[in-house]
Amino acid sequence: MKRSFPLVFAFIVGFLVLLAEFIPHRPFSQLISTLENWFMIIAGFAILLGQISLIRVNSRIISNKEHDWQYHLAGMISFALMLIVGVLWGMREAPGILGKGEDIALWMGMKPFDYLFTYAYMPLSATVFSLLAFFIASAAYRAFIIRGFESNLLMITAVIVIIGRTSIGSMLTGWLPESWSFWHIPNLADFIMEYPNTAAQRAIMISAGLGIIGSSLRIILGIERSYLGGDK
Amino acid sequence: MKHCLIFFFAMICFSSLSAENISLIDVPWDDGKALELHWDLPFMPDSVSLSISDPEGNLIPTQIELGQTGRLQISDLNPDFEYRATLTAYKDNIPFRYQTTGQAREQWFYLHKSAFLILLLLICIAIIYYITAAKRGKDFFIRRISGLDSMEEAIGRATEKGKPILFVPGIGDLDDIQTIASLTILSHLAQRSAEYNTELIVPCRFSMVLSAAREVVKEAYMKVGRLDAYKPDSVFYLTDDQFGYVAGIDGIMLREQPAANFFLGSFYAESLILAETGHSTGAIQTAGTAQAHQLPFFVVSCDYTLIGEELFAASAYLSRDPQQLGSLKGHDFGKLLVILLIIAGVILEIAGISNLKDFIAGALS
């Protein structure tokens, strides 16, 4: 029963969603959005599970004074601070239990939650994102080291696209006559991006689509059960 | 007197409602949320204005182009309401008003999805056929997927070094099929880590994923009879925030120095940040996603990459269950079908016949 109920449920819901994709008439037309709303409601309740997990794991590390426990303490303080100011004064237009916090907003320029979000959270998030620029450089260096024919081809293609996307590309081959415009580096870069690159990406997307169909069918038919924790 | 005559003439024109010149037609084969306005005026107007209103008099925002004839699709309507369209055409500052009513009807089939349905049915029938054939004992050849074969190697290395395994189920929620595929792989990985008594770390971005991942890992430990070794805190929630999640995982990789990292699921801008940090720690890295734009990053920074379909085939491949392996043959049939359609489409387009393209495009529009 414990295993068969989810399987039957998955079959019915999966089949109905599949039908709803092709039937525009009610109730099928509203089925997908209804199920999405249900998912949102369940996810809303499940947030509590995440918070419990967060507090439990961090509390254990802090109380046992495990390695780098100070960072976990900083994380917990940040969590508590955002929670408290959010509950007390709310965020944006939403009021908190102490009202809309006009006085404190007048003093800080905005509500405390919004202030922390704008001046603490956003810069931190942007900092992590900005690491991407450095990681792209290091990854590109490794990818473009010439080892064989394929990596040689990759490097030549990449150089054409990189140069073609900058003004240097236009400058280098701008003198070419109109009849040779295909060999103009920006045009060459466009060609690479538009044809070989798009073709390869579409091939991956088609194969992924087929994989999704197969995977979904295995789940709907109950052949794939490992997402429930086991095969039997 | 002259002004009176003009006013009288204008009033006649203004009130001369001609339903034949304008019609509000239901858009066929849809969900009853669209109507199409057709107009064919007896003269070329200097300017036109249109108002569409529901029975309560609420106006629907529309924009009409000037023309003696034309058609305009009005969307986001309610199939329960009858809508009134009023087209006012001005000629020499004299308004001519045309009115009509129409109601959108819900249909029982999206005709433009016919090609999609046919393709889906063909692929599903093929998958079911191969599953049935596998059930009867037919043996199918499945090509090796090195990214999945390396899983044993990665777990073995982590066991030898006495270091944990890090499994990242992507940044998608549980409604993403890539996350489901990731959890099916986690099930196999957790079984192996339980057998080898190797620590498994699973940080989750969403509470729903946390809940499912915990269940999957617990069941896996139970299956191999090592429930005592299962630590509920090994599967934990980090944060819903994308880059906060990345920063948290980067921290785990640098502090715990896992011997093997698995990035399987849905990934976006964070893919390279994760993979490069993992690479810097010297861990064996296996990644897999169906996000075509993120695959190059994983290919560069990881030892093994599951490309697109391989992520979804992983569970079947790892389980070695003949039925599931049979379904992979169905994928191959789908690929063959797509290849044949592409070839046929190219030949027909060269020959100037675009029926096949139009039929398939209807499914994609």
Q: Give the confidence band of B316 by pLDDT, cuts at 50, 70, 90.
A: confident
Mean pLDDT of B146-160: 90
Return the DSSP state at B62. -
> Do residues A20 and A32 lie in contact, with contact meaning Cβ atoms separated by under 8 Å?
yes
Assigned domain for B132 exists: no
Q: Is B364 on the interface with A (CB under 8 A)?
A: no
Rounded distance between C-alpha atoms, residue B31 and residue B77, angstroms: 10
Note whether B40 and B69 are same-domain residues: yes
Q: Given a cut of 70, is residue B4 above it in pLDDT?
A: no
Residue B296 Cα to chain centre, angstroms: 21
Q: What is the pLDDT of residue A1?
A: 67
Rounded distance between C-alpha atoms, residue B287 and residue B297, angstroms: 10
Q: What is the pLDDT of residue B365?
A: 52
Mean pLDDT of B292-321: 90
Note whether B21 and B144 are same-domain residues: no
Assigned domain for B291 exists: yes
> Do residues A150 and A140 lie in contact, with contact meaning Cβ atoms separated by under 8 Å?
no
What ipTM, to 2 d.p.?
0.89
Note whether B247 and B275 are same-domain residues: yes
Note whether B227 and B309 are same-domain residues: yes
Mean pLDDT of B314-339: 88
Mean pLDDT of B171-182: 93
Assigned domain for B135 exists: no
Chain A nearest C-alpha distance from B26 (Å)? 14
Supply the angle between the helices A198-220 and B114-135 in degrees, to the nearest 10.
60
Mean pLDDT of chain B: 89
- pTM equals 0.86
Q: What is the pLDDT of residue B14?
A: 46
Size of interface A-B (CB pairs under 8 A): 217
Residue type, B166: L
Q: Which of B208, B230, B231, B329 to mutate to test the interface with A (most CBs of A within 10 A)?
A: B208
> Do residues B232 and B211 lie in contact, with contact meaning Cβ atoms separated by under 8 Å?
no
Q: Given a cut of 50, is residue B12 above it in pLDDT?
A: no
Phi-psi region of A220 (alpha: psi -120 to 50; beta: other; left: phi over 0): alpha
pLDDT in tens, chain A (232 residues): 667 888 899 899 999 999 999 999 988 988 989 999 999 999 888 889 899 999 999 999 999 999 889 999 999 999 999 999 999 999 988 898 998 888 888 898 999 999 999 999 999 999 999 999 999 998 888 888 877 888 888 889 999 999 999 999 889 988 889 899 999 999 999 999 999 999 999 999 999 999 999 999 988 988 888 777 665 4
Q: Is B349 on the interface with A (CB under 8 A)?
A: no
Look at chain B and report how many structural domains it folds into. Answer: 3
Assigned domain for B159 exists: yes
Q: Give the confidence band of B6 by pLDDT, cuts at 50, 70, 90.
A: low
List, for residues B204-230, the tens digit of each pLDDT value: 999 999 999 999 999 999 999 999 999
Phi and psi dihedrals of A83, rounded to 5? -65, -45
Assigned domain for B130 exists: no
Q: Given a cut of 70, is residue B363 above it in pLDDT?
A: no
Note whether B273 and B145 are same-domain residues: yes
* Residues in chain B within 8 Å Cβ distance of A227: 180, 183-184, 187, 212, 216
Residue A211: which of B239, B255, B308 has the nearest Cβ? B308
Note whether B253 and B328 are same-domain residues: no
Q: Could you tell me the residue range of the domain that residue B269 belongs to?
A: 140-320
Element (H, E) at B124: helix B114-135
Note whether B291 and B349 are same-domain residues: no
Note whether B219 and B258 are same-domain residues: yes
Here the CATH number for the domain that contains residue B167 is 3.40.50
Note whether B312 and B333 are same-domain residues: no
Assigned domain for B311 exists: yes
Q: Which of B276, B301, B337, B360 to mutate to test the interface with A (most CBs of A within 10 A)?
A: B276
Note whether B316 and B328 are same-domain residues: no
Residue B237: which of A39, A54, A128 has the nearest Cβ? A54
Note whether B221 and B308 are same-domain residues: yes
Q: Given a cut of 80, is residue B297 above it in pLDDT?
A: yes
Note whether B18 and B87 are same-domain residues: yes
